[in-house]
Structure 1
Amino acid sequence: MGSERRERMRVLGARLRALRADAGLTGAALAQQAGVGQPTVSKVENGRMVPSLDVLDRLSRALGLDESTAGEVRELLAAVEAAVETGSGFEGDVSVGLAVDEAVRGARLVRSFQCVVLPALLQSAEYARHVFESAPNSSPEAVGRAVAARVERQSVLYEPGRESVFVLTEAVLRTWPGTPALMLAQLDRLLAVESLRTVRLGVIPWRRPVPLLPRHGFTLCDQRAVVVETFTGEGVSVDSAELAAYEETFGRFERAAVFGDEVRELLLRVMKEFRELGDTVTP
């Protein structure tokens, strides 16, 4: 990631770590009192994760911070988020997809709509590799690190107290990189994730008209930020009017989608078609 953003994350983490030490708490004790996972505390303190404002406020209350100090750490978080908005790059020029990874890490409710590429949290390692390799000037080393980071961040899908809602067009399932074998593994992962209690996976079948023509994918993180994804990068907005517009748009796509048994039947049907396609198509 860009050096400015990385440094701001380190400053925030170091400040929280010092405040925890002043309070005489272990990381595990702070996590328990704040009602967050211990890995969350560790990653925030080590500058590896950007907490949501809700998580930061929980930590502040558990630490017993006064109003002035709590405001200080909020300002440090705002500085981190500002670094995203100004377009800080990521190491190896594999920025597309990493801002959303970090934004969702601290959110309790994630809602993602995609019309071409699978959501970051649902991508298999090989699918993600193709995503990052498509970035301009990417290096094998940077791609490898980005893939590993993405897979690690997907652990949020299994954490209690979180909810993830994904809405895809059927085109996402049929827009594939690599080989049919890669997509078979990817679709198998979607079946597994769809069964999680913390996840709702919806698909708008091609037989249904879309409520409006999608121009790009986007991800809502709680009700505090939206990450808008484009071919060349990502933008993060916290503007209330823009958030409201994206929430209304997501609701329209969600109402057009099928869930549950219908999604599983659709996934199995697409998997059957990829098996028939086999290795007859050269990537």
Structure 2
Amino acid sequence: MSTDFQSARVALGARLRELRIEAGLNGKDIAARLGWARSKVSRLETGKQTATFEDLEAWARAADAPGQADDLKGRLRGLESQQRSWRRQLATGQRPVQDRYVVEYQRATTMRGYEATVIPGLFQTPDYARHLMTRNAELMQSTPRDTDAAVQARMKRQEVLYEAGRRFRVLIWEGALHALVCPRDVMVGQLDRLVGLIGMSTVDLGIVPLGAPLKLTPKHGFWIFDEERVVVETINTELQLESDDDVALYGRVWDALNEAAAYRQHAHRLIARARTQVQHA
């Protein structure tokens, strides 16, 4: 079973548990309403069993939330695909995607990431994230507007930054520090957030400077989870790459970019320069 599949299944189980708790029910109560063994309720909530569409419809009714059935079924449809269409993933809103990422980041011990055009979600402020998600929903047009819930889930993902034993090695192309995808005051706050990450025991933040000699072009962003799989986001698709060759290839790309990256005081100066330009331009 792929890590991606299991992460999404655990996230679906967490949402089932959330609906049960919101209804004021314990495991025994909802099992009685459904006519199921309590062990099935436990397996579904912990992601050890894959629900059926019928299971999800029944759960939504039992939890007095029939309107959530479509959301639950939308999450189920996306479990197995290695190439995930954003339009399909976002059909029931942005929160299900963020919930899945929470699980994926909680499962990872080490990550290497690179972003060329945007501040990584792992480092985003709520205001910056809100502007990005609003614009993404507008781009996809049919995406339900659940921005506040999606932002909360993205912020929850960031809890892993403060857990001992984890390591996040992240590179950002300097151009992303200047990309005004939000109001200037929001971008200033976002850049201040980046400065606060420098020196954290769990974070190695590098900035790839404009004008630095490079062995390859910056290309697109990507994330390597535990040196086992790579996640690549394009405009319309999310790719999950798990072959040894793909992981090794992206590892070499990260290494090449890292050779040009600035860290600590040099990174601080690049962020400060961007902050001044954003604030006073």
TM over 0.5: yes
Q: Distance in 2 between matches of 1:207 and 1:102?
A: 37
TM-score by length of 2: 0.67
What does residue range 262-273 of structure 1 map to in structure 2 within 5 Å?
262-273=266-277
Structure 1 pair 155–173 and aligned structure 2 pair: CA distance change class (3 A): same
Counterpart in the other structure of 2:167: 163
Counterpart in the other structure of 1:16: none
Amino acid at match of 1:148: Q
Deviation at 1:275, TM superposition (A): 2.0
Asked if 1:258 corresponds to 2:262, the answer is yes
User: 1:110-131: CA deviations, max 9, x gaps?
Assistant: 1110110111101111111122
Deviation at 1:231, TM superposition (A): 1.2
Q: Distance in 2 between matches of 1:177 and 1:45?
A: 39
Amino acid at match of 1:111: R
Counterpart in the other structure of 1:24: none
Q: Distance in 1 between matches of 2:153 and 2:81?
A: 17
Counterpart in the other structure of 2:209: 205
What does residue range 77-226 of structure 1 map to in structure 2 within 5 Å?
83-87=80-84, 89-90=89-90, 92-94=92-94, 98=98, 100-135=101-136, 136-137=140-141, 138-140=143-145, 142-226=146-230
TM-score by length of 1: 0.67
Contact persistence 1:237–1:243 (CA under 8 A): yes
Q: Distance in 2 between matches of 1:228 and 1:121?
A: 15
Structure 1 pair 163–121 and aligned structure 2 pair: CA distance change class (3 A): same
What does residue range 2-151 of structure 1 map to in structure 2 within 5 Å?
8-9=9-10, 46=45, 83-87=80-84, 89-90=89-90, 92-94=92-94, 98=98, 100-135=101-136, 136-137=140-141, 138-140=143-145, 142-151=146-155
Deviation at 1:168, TM superposition (A): 0.9
Q: Distance in 2 between matches of 1:198 and 1:222?
A: 14
Deviates more, 1:83-92 or 1:261-270: 83-92
Asked if 1:243 corresponds to 2:247, the answer is yes
Gaps of at least 5 residues in structure 1 are 14-43, 49-78, 278-283
Q: CA RMSD in A?
A: 3.2
Deviation at 1:207, TM superposition (A): 2.3
Q: Distance in 2 between matches of 1:179 and 1:232?
A: 25
Amino acid at match of 1:139: P
Deviation at 1:239, TM superposition (A): 1.1
Counterpart in the other structure of 2:18: none
Counterpart in the other structure of 2:23: none
Counterpart in the other structure of 1:233: 237
Q: Aligned pairs, how many? A: 214
Deviates more, 1:88-97 or 1:259-268: 88-97
Structure 1 pair 106–276 and aligned structure 2 pair: CA distance change class (3 A): same
Q: Distance in 1 between matches of 2:8 and 2:207?
A: 39
Amino acid at match of 2:134: E
Contact persistence 2:127–2:186 (CA under 8 A): yes
- How high is the sequence identity, in percent, across the aligned residues? 26
Amino acid at match of 1:106: R
Contact persistence 2:78–2:89 (CA under 8 A): no
Q: Distance in 2 between matches of 1:214 and 1:97?
A: 26
Structure 1 pair 92–209 and aligned structure 2 pair: CA distance change class (3 A): farther
Deviation at 1:102, TM superposition (A): 4.1
Contact persistence 2:174–2:208 (CA under 8 A): yes
Structure 1 pair 144–91 and aligned structure 2 pair: CA distance change class (3 A): farther
Deviation at 1:215, TM superposition (A): 2.5
Q: Distance in 2 between matches of 1:204 and 1:223?
A: 22
Deviation at 1:9, TM superposition (A): 2.5
Deviation at 1:274, TM superposition (A): 1.9
User: 1:82-122: CA deviations, max 9, x gaps?
Assistant: 62525262454438974655432311101110110111101
Contact persistence 1:84–1:235 (CA under 8 A): no
Deviation at 1:267, TM superposition (A): 1.1
What secondary structure sits across from 1:212 in the alignment? coil
What secondary structure sits across from 1:144 in the alignment? helix
